[in-house]
Copies of this chain bind each other. A is one copy, B any other.
Amino acid sequence: MAGEKAPRRPKAETPKGFRDYFGADVAERKAMLDAIASVYHRHGFDPLETSAVETVEALGKFLPDVDRPNEGVFGWQDEDGDWLALRYDLTAPLARVAAQYREGSATSQWPTMPKGYETGVPMPYRRYAMGPVWRNEKPGPGRFRQFYQCDADTVGSASVAADAEICAMLADALEEVGIPRGDYIVRVNNRKVLNGVMEVAGVLDPADPGRFAAECGIVLRAIDKLDRLGVEGVRALLGEGRKDESGDVTKGAGLGADQAEIVMGFMAAKRDTGAETVARLRALVGASTLGIEGVDELETIAALLAAQGYGPDRIVIDPSVVRGLGYYTGPVFEAELTFEILDEKGRKRQFGSVAGGGRYDDLVKRFTGQSVPATGVSIGVDRLLAALRAKGRAGGETAGPVVVTVMDRDRMADYMAMAAELRRAGIRAEVYLGNPKNFGNQLKYADKRASPVAVIQGSSEAEKGTVILKDLVLGARIAAGASLEEWKQRPAQLEIPRAELVAAVRQMLD
């Protein structure tokens, strides 16, 4: 190791903006992702794991005359002069994969492909992906430079049935991880409807879509901030602009009052039933071809969902959902958790959004020139996990091990045999491997490990052929003031024949 030549001691520090995950943190996230994967699998989605590293050009970051790409990604130049970077999401790699492994484009560069993939990815391609992504952004509290994403997308289907399927699957996934029905809602909207409304408002010219691009972008981002800014804040952004509490001014879209009113009307178009909302939207888009198409699509999605039993208690049409990203071209959706939690200041607030997505028909085109329809959803892994923890529903194997203590270091073989026996019976168990001199330290260790049972065998027990079991769960409860009743009912310590070790531990664990 080069470390031996170190002129000074290196600092033992996680790099700024990164973090480490220990024990239960890892297990809980894994349990959640496994549950989501089982739902995706049941829907016919296949896993895909792309490399963490992409060429910068595949990611869509171009560097005409800058020295290194530090706008959002972690990048470096390889020995051939190519710029490489860590992926910043799971969508860009999917678009690259869909282009690279399209039917009929097989090359000798392809890795050995599993059954069904030999000539390319199946089309339509339903895939899910879970893994870390990296952002070269200023870190902040709860804002990390590496975090998990969990995506499901269908590439190669222009049918809104694909969008409906994603919405239904999202609802299923939330229930599977432990969010009960009634505690979440999936909201669906359609960018085409918004564009139709913009056309009516005179902020979009279907004959020249680029003409009001800047204004449309501002409108989109303004609507996306409805939750945070409220109706008046959005109205200000649609017009001249908005000054926030700190005095900073955000430029507005410059819409006239009448135009702004039409957009505001769109946001408020949600009615009690899906049919009424659709009727209201139909009125709002007037004669706009794109708008009518969008409303038709929403109507179809609602019908497809109803046929599968997904009613408005789970999925609703909600025109206030627009999603900030520019690349969506049709249906957009968002999952929100509707229960209340206390924020850091002790105020009640709704938990909010944990997933979102939509249709993006142009991402693969970047590579091939051909438009490939696609739709998908991304679940915010850390937010959903935080929600499960807030509800006490984060799973994962977090039970501590039975700790076999070491009373006599010469009889290590006996202690290890005990642990092996317990394990063979499927019980998590370990021998204390630190310095056994101080027995108090062994019990402190067992406590730290959240151990339910300590096994003790000193020389006198060994002679008698017995072991002592210490019920640490009960011990903790007694220490925390359990009733005399409890204390009597169940002894916190028990001497049993050595031969009954497994049976007695199992009973104590029940």
Q: List 25 A-B contacts (CB under 8 A).
A: A1-B326, A10-B60, A10-B366, A12-B99, A14-B51, A15-B55, A15-B82, A19-B51, A20-B51, A21-B50, A22-B101, A24-B114, A42-B423, A42-B426, A52-B134, A114-B398, A115-B398, A116-B400, A116-B448, A124-B432, A124-B433, A126-B433, A308-B417, A308-B420, A309-B417
Instruction: Determine whether A228 belongs to the interface, using a CB cutoff of 8 Å to chain B.
Output: no
Smallest Cβ-Cβ distance to A103: which chain B residue:
B448
Smallest Cβ-Cβ distance to A64: which chain B residue:
B7
How far is A164 from B431 in the complex, measured between Cα atoms in Å?
Answer: 12
The answer to whether B450 and A115 have CB atoms under 8 Å apart is yes
Instruction: Determine whether A6 belongs to the interface, using a CB cutoff of 8 Å to chain B.
Output: yes
Which residues does chain B contribute within 8 Å of A3, judged by CB atoms?
60, 363, 366
Q: Which of A87-110 contact B (CB under 8 A)?
A: 96-97, 99-101, 109
The answer to whether B43 and A423 have CB atoms under 8 Å apart is yes
Which residues does chain B contribute within 8 Å of A363, judged by CB atoms?
1, 3
How far is A398 from B27 in the complex, measured between Cα atoms in Å?
Answer: 24
Contact of A126 among B54, B126, B413, B430 (CB under 8 A): B430
Instruction: Determine whether A159 belongs to the interface, using a CB cutoff of 8 Å to chain B.
Output: yes
How far is A477 from B11 in the complex, measured between Cα atoms in Å?
Answer: 63
Minimum Cβ distance to chain B for residue A46 (Å): 4
The answer to whether B9 and A367 have CB atoms under 8 Å apart is yes
**With A2-B61, A13-B55, A449-B44 as given contacts, are A164 and B416 in contact (CB-CB < 8 Å)?**
yes
Of A69-77, A338-346, A489-497, the one with at least 4 CB within 8 A of chain B: A69-77
Instruction: Determine whether A232 belongs to the interface, using a CB cutoff of 8 Å to chain B.
Output: no
Interface centre among A70, A132, A448 (most CB of B within 10 A): A448
Minimum Cβ distance to chain B for residue A217 (Å): 12
Instruction: Determine whether A327 belongs to the interface, using a CB cutoff of 8 Å to chain B.
Output: yes
Which residues does chain B contribute within 8 Å of A48, judged by CB atoms?
20-23, 26
Contact of A41 among B25, B96, B428 (CB under 8 A): B428
Contact of A10 among B6, B30, B70, B367 (CB under 8 A): B367
**With A44-B430, A416-B308, A420-B308 as given contacts, are A12 and B74 in contact (CB-CB < 8 Å)?**
no
Interface centre among A26, A78, A84 (most CB of B within 10 A): A26
**With A1-B60, A428-B44 as given contacts, are A433 and B165 in contact (CB-CB < 8 Å)?**
yes
Smallest Cβ-Cβ distance to A428: which chain B residue:
B42
How far is A397 from B44 in the complex, measured between Cα atoms in Å?
Answer: 11
Instruction: Determine whether A245 belongs to the interface, using a CB cutoff of 8 Å to chain B.
Output: no
How far is A128 from B114 in the complex, measured between Cα atoms in Å?
Answer: 29
Which residues does chain B contribute within 8 Å of A42, judged by CB atoms?
423, 426-429
How far is A41 from B27 in the complex, measured between Cα atoms in Å?
Answer: 10
Instruction: Determine whether A401 belongs to the interface, using a CB cutoff of 8 Å to chain B.
Output: yes
Instruction: Determine whether A353 belongs to the interface, using a CB cutoff of 8 Å to chain B.
Output: no
Smallest Cβ-Cβ distance to A114: which chain B residue:
B24
Instruction: Determine whether A79 belongs to the interface, using a CB cutoff of 8 Å to chain B.
Output: yes
**With A116-B448, A417-B307, A420-B308 as given contacts, are A433 and B24 in contact (CB-CB < 8 Å)?**
no
Minimum Cβ distance to chain B for residue A133 (Å): 10
The answer to whether A11 and B58 have CB atoms under 8 Å apart is yes
Which residues does chain B contribute within 8 Å of A97, judged by CB atoms?
12, 20
Smallest Cβ-Cβ distance to A411: which chain B residue:
B307
The answer to whether A434 and B124 have CB atoms under 8 Å apart is yes
The answer to whether A76 and B75 have CB atoms under 8 Å apart is yes
Instruction: Determine whether A62 belongs to the interface, using a CB cutoff of 8 Å to chain B.
Output: yes
How far is A117 from B445 in the complex, measured between Cα atoms in Å?
Answer: 11
Minimum Cβ distance to chain B for residue A506 (Å): 14
Which residues does chain B contribute within 8 Å of A44, judged by CB atoms?
401, 403, 428-430, 449
**With A62-B5, A121-B22 as given contacts, are A134 and B53 in contact (CB-CB < 8 Å)?**
yes
Minimum Cβ distance to chain B for residue A70 (Å): 7
**With A12-B368, A126-B430, A307-B417 as given contacts, are A23 and B116 in contact (CB-CB < 8 Å)?**
yes
Interface centre among A157, A309, A413 (most CB of B within 10 A): A413
How far is A430 from B308 in the complex, measured between Cα atoms in Å?
Answer: 13
Instruction: Determine whether A68 belongs to the interface, using a CB cutoff of 8 Å to chain B.
Output: yes
Which residues does chain B contribute within 8 Å of A465, judged by CB atoms?
none
Contact of A7 among B21, B62, B401 (CB under 8 A): B62
